Amino acid sequence: MANYQTISPESLQARIHEVLLVDVRGTGETARGIIKGAKLIPLHLVPMNVHEFKSAKDVVIYCHSGARSAQACQFLAGQGISNLFNLEGGVMYWAGAGLPLVAPD
């Protein structure tokens, strides 16, 4: 059973300024565009950066399709983090909904 929730691209867009947004894709993927304001923490580095996910805000994690971000959510939930959301469909659904991607900093 998942200890996190999913969030649709449209719901995320409405809450974008009130969440901690984390992209768990690799650098080759993020070079093609990220959701504005996202922190970049590749999936394989999540275990070493658990402290980055401890936030008073809700934490929304995303990847390309939602599979790797679901793994990250499951792992982080096991570390006691409870305010987790997985972006439904990842950047594929985000871009498919006509929402913008920007170049990473």
Q: Which residues are catalytic?
A: 63
d(CA 3, CA 84): 8
How far apart, in Å, are the Cα atoms of 93 and each of 25, 40, 51, 75, 97? 15, 19, 28, 23, 6
Tokens representing residue 34 in the block: 């990220």
Tokens representing residue 16 in the block: 């974008």
